[in-house]
């Protein structure tokens, strides 16, 4: 049912940069609605990582950054660390679904 598509997995060596894409459509990201990102460490609840496309909550390292363009958004992790191994989800609003929040399909980041 996810209307936001993410790659199932990305990987990188420690210190490298990885990016995760979140592709939507004209009724969500393309309509100008904000994109938010969450990190879910194994066995834990998701945690807000990026809000309003590119803003970091207090306490989130600046290694994490977000951007948005057109019908897509991206999360970048620079200087990849072992503790960044987790699942990442984008989230936005979809005007075609009666006030719905929608999540991306999720991406597993593996640190090699």
Partner 1 sequence: QVQLQESGPGLVKPSQTLSLTCTVSGGSISSGGYYWSWIRQHPGKGLEWIGYIYYSGSTYYNPSLKSRVTISVDTSKNQFSLKLSSVTAADTAVYYCARVEGASIAAALFDYWGQGTLVTVSS
Footprint of partner 1 on this chain (CB under 8 A)? 1-2, 33-34, 36, 38, 44-48, 51-52, 57, 89, 91, 93, 95, 97-106
Nearer to partner 1, 8 or 13 (CB): 8
Length of the chain: 112
CA gap 9, 105 in Å, rounded: 11
Closest distance of CB 18 from partner 1, Å: 19
Nearer to partner 1, 16 or 96 (CB): 96
Nearer to partner 1, 12 or 87 (CB): 87
Closest distance of CB 75 from partner 1, Å: 14
3-class DSSP state of 84: helix
Q: What are phi and psi of 30, to 5 degrees?
A: -65, -20
Closest distance of CB 98 from partner 1, Å: 5
Tokens of 43: 């066995």
Long-range contact pairs involving 97-100 (C-beta distance under 8 Å, separation at least 24): 97/3, 97/27
Nearer to partner 1, 23 or 89 (CB): 89
Q: DSSP secondary structure string, 41-62?
A: -TTS--EEEEBTTTBPPTT--T
Closest distance of CB 14 from partner 1, Å: 26
């Amino acid at each position: 049912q996810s209307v936001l598509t993410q790659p199932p997995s990305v990987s990188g060596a420690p210190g490298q940069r990885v990016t995760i894409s979140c592709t939507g459509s004209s009724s969500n990201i393309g309509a100008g609605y904000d994109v938010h990102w969450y990190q879910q460490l194994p066995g834990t609840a998701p945690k807000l990582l990026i809000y309003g496309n590119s803003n970091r909550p207090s306490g989130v390292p600046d290694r994490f950054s977000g951007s948005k363009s057109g019908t897509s958004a991206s999360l970048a992790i620079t200087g990849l660390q072992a503790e960044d191994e987790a699942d990442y989800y984008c989230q936005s609003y979809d005007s075609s679904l009666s006030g719905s929040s929608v999540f991306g399909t999720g991406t597993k980041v593996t640190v090699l």
